[in-house]
Structure 1
Amino acid sequence: MSALPHSPHALVTGGGRGIGRAIAAALVGAGATVTVLGRNAATLEEAVKAGAAHFAIVADVSDEVSLNAAVAEAHARKPIDILIANAGSAESAPFVKSDSALFSRMMDVNFMGVVHAIRAVLSGMKDRPYGRIVAVASTAGLKGYAYVSAYTAAKHAVVGLVRSLALEMAGSNVTVNAVCPGFTDTDLVAGSIENIMKKTGRTREQAIAELARHNPQGRLISPQEVADAVLWLCGEGAGAITGQAIAVAGGEI
């Protein structure tokens, strides 16, 4: 595993649970100072108490003003070297029932939330000797899935943003990448499982199998597997890796 530089400060959005919390804990284990950001204060504080982060800040990534204030608070404590733009949400519906409000919600959180977070940290990061930006996208940013057109569109936008920004930052010490997990064993996927059960009458095991079938390995991805990929991208030895969208999906493309 590529080592981190000495005690960088990492900000992890959506860091209170699931993939975000696993990433935060992995960064703590690698010697980073970690601030987790999200909307649920209790969840964030629990992560801090459990040792998965050092500090917690409450903010909504879709609210640019709130997010800017939170990032400024974190930066004042210690300049931010690493941004993990992980916060996101998913809603499913057939396209013909996906109204403008649904598309706006998915874009606001999953895409504009990434935009706001990057804008908030980039000016302070790009002139420093080391910087890492990693967006947690999805295999939905690399391919299509039925019944999640709004979510998929937002994740495709994240991958496009990463590829473009990486070129702009190529002359600096900042790298910009995305990781694209397949269906991962998190609360978010648990909601999808419940939705499949409700709409189809399938058992929980059958619903899990429906999602796992997309993975050639026939299973759900673990949050730790995503965290391991992110930790590598944040290491000093990954300085030549930028503009990439790396699938963590058991071979699904």
Structure 2
Amino acid sequence: MVDKLAGRHALVTGAGSGIGAAIAKALIQEGASVTLAGRRREPLNSVAANSDPARCFVAAGFDVTDRTAIETGLKAAIERFGPLSILVNNAGEAPSAPFEKITPEDWGHVLSVDLTGVFNVTQLALPHLKAHGEGARIITVASTAGLTGYSYVSAYCAAKHGVIGLTRALALELARKSITVNAVCPGFTDTPLIQKSLDMIVEKTGRSREDALREFTKSNPQGRLVQPEEVADAVTWLAGPAASSITGQAIIIAGGEVMSG
């Protein structure tokens, strides 16, 4: 088999677990060298150890809300693997609370991580992507919450809607530069975040884990959680040569829950 991404350098934020880890591993399997970016070193080291350590660079302390930390991480990554050609914005948080109980600090934090974080990393990485030339990719992990509304996650929905708008605007700006800009929008996905939410529901309500899980799967016509590897497959396709004309899109991975991006 030909490695579709051989010779390419990808940076994945939030690469220490869940969707980010699955994306990093999939990109490596397709031949890319991958910078694993995240705040904590231990989860990133674990991902590297369980894939191909020679094709991984761990950029710990990579806080998407801290532009100095981003610049430091980018510099080290490029020194290790050369020009950056694929950026995957995956870092994010999804706290839940009734709208009336969200504090201005909570609201600001979610938008800072989930929306401004994408702005920060993309803006600082863009000169490096332009330097790579034709075929560079910007891919952001958004959510079906960027396309529709969900109760008790209003800040998250607002941030992810902003991410979709940013994706579409930037795709037009960069179309002549042969840099594509897309988002993937998973529905509820089987990640440590979902498992933690299930634990909380069981603890607070006394319901069985199976009943709690049904709350997350009932909106998916397939009746299941999305798997991180399914999201990773979409990202690797968008990163590859076959997706050169795909830009400005929000690719939905949700079992039919949302039908149009």
Range class of TM-score, shorter chain? over 0.9
Question: Structure 1, residues 49-82: CA drift from partner, whole Å, max 9, x if none?
Answer: 1116611111111111111111121122211100
Greater than 2 Å deviation, 4+ residue runs: 1-6, 194-201
Alignment counterpart, residue 180 of structure 2, candidates 175, 187, 196: 175
Give the corresponding residue for 1:33: 33
Root mean square deviation of aligned Cα: 1.6
Give the corresponding residue for 1:9: 9
Residue 153 (structure 1) aligned with residue 155 (structure 2): no
Distance 1:141 1:245 in 2: 9
Scaled by the length of structure 2, the TM-score of the pair is 0.93
> Structure 2: where are the runs of 5+ without partners?
none
Give SS of 1:90's match: coil
Give the corresponding residue for 1:136: 141
Give SS of 1:4's match: coil
Distance 1:244 1:65 in 2: 30
- 1:194-233 counterparts in 2 under 5 A? 194-233=199-238
Structure 2: which amino acid aligns with 1:217? Q
Q: State the aligned residue count.
A: 253
Alignment counterpart, residue 78 of structure 2, candidates 75, 80, 87: 75
Structure 1: which amino acid aligns with 2:181? V
Question: Structure 1, residues 115-171: CA drift from partner, whole Å, max 9, x if none?
Answer: 111012111212412201100001100100000001111111111100000000010
Give the corresponding residue for 1:61: 64
Give the corresponding residue for 1:126: 130
Alignment counterpart, residue 91 of structure 1, candidates 95, 102, 106: 95
CA contact (8 A) 2:11 2:86 kept: yes
Residue 24 (structure 1) aligned with residue 27 (structure 2): no
Which region of structure 1 is more displaced relative to structure 2, 175-184 or 121-130?
Answer: 121-130
Distance 2:16 2:146 in 1: 23
Give the corresponding residue for 1:104: 108
Give the corresponding residue for 2:48: 48
Distance 2:18 2:41 in 1: 15
Distance 1:54 1:68 in 2: 19
Scaled by the length of structure 1, the TM-score of the pair is 0.96
Q: 1:186 to 1:64 in 2, by over 3 A?
A: same
CA contact (8 A) 1:28 1:34 kept: yes
Give SS of 1:147's match: coil
CA contact (8 A) 2:95 2:153 kept: yes
Structure 2: which amino acid aligns with 1:89? E
CA contact (8 A) 1:2 1:236 kept: no
**Alpha-carbon distance, 1:239 to partner:** 0.7
Alignment counterpart, residue 249 of structure 1, candidates 243, 251, 254: 254
Percent sequence identity is 49
Distance 1:167 1:116 in 2: 19
Q: 1:28 to 1:35 in 2, by over 3 A?
A: same
CA contact (8 A) 2:3 2:31 kept: no
